[in-house]
Amino acid sequence: MIDKELIPLGEIAARTPNSFVDGPFGSEMKSDEYTETGVRLIQLQNIEDGAWIDDNQKFISADKFAALKRHGAVPGDMAIAKMADPVARQLCASSHC
């Protein structure tokens, strides 16, 4: 097992609204809203601990993304999977983290 330094998220989070968000869930995101192209979704199956798994690509329209903007990721953001094993696996939304 690799030793990792534990840092509270509150110490590294941006001091801006929506620094921590979850979802979207259920009624906010339906599978019939997926599109062939558009804005790429980050799903649980894309998150490996420290790595991006590029399988199971799903997209939504720009209009749907605008409605869910608070859930968007930008380079430097961290995505944490809090469901499915292993819990708390994470990745950075950019190779520059």
What is the DSSP code string of 55-80? Answer: -S--EE-HHHHHHTGGG---TT-EEE
Domain, as residue range, for 87 = 32-97
Instruction: Determine, yes or no, domain membership for 72.
Output: yes
Per-residue pLDDT for 4 more than 90?
no
Global pTM reads: 0.75
d(CA 36, CA 34): 7
Number of domains in the chain: 1
Kindly indicate the confidence band of residue 58, based on its pLDDT and cuts at 50, 70 and 90: very high
Does residue 5 sit within a domain?
no
Contact criterion met (CB below 8 Å) for 21 and 71: yes
Sign of CA dihedral 12, 22, 51, 5: positive
For residue 69, tell me if it sits in a domain.
yes
Let me know if residue 14 belongs to a domain. no
| pLDDT tens digits, one per residue of 9-41 | 888 888 888 888 888 887 888 999 999 999 999
What pLDDT, on the 0 to 100 scale, is given for residue 52?
86
Cα–Cα distances in angstroms (integers) from residue 27 to residues 31, 56, 67, in the given order: 10, 21, 12
User: Is 78 domain-assigned?
Assistant: yes
Is 83 part of any domain? yes
> What contacts 52, CB < 8 A, 6 or more positions away?
46, 91
Q: Within a domain: residue 42? A: yes
Specify if 16 maps to a domain. no
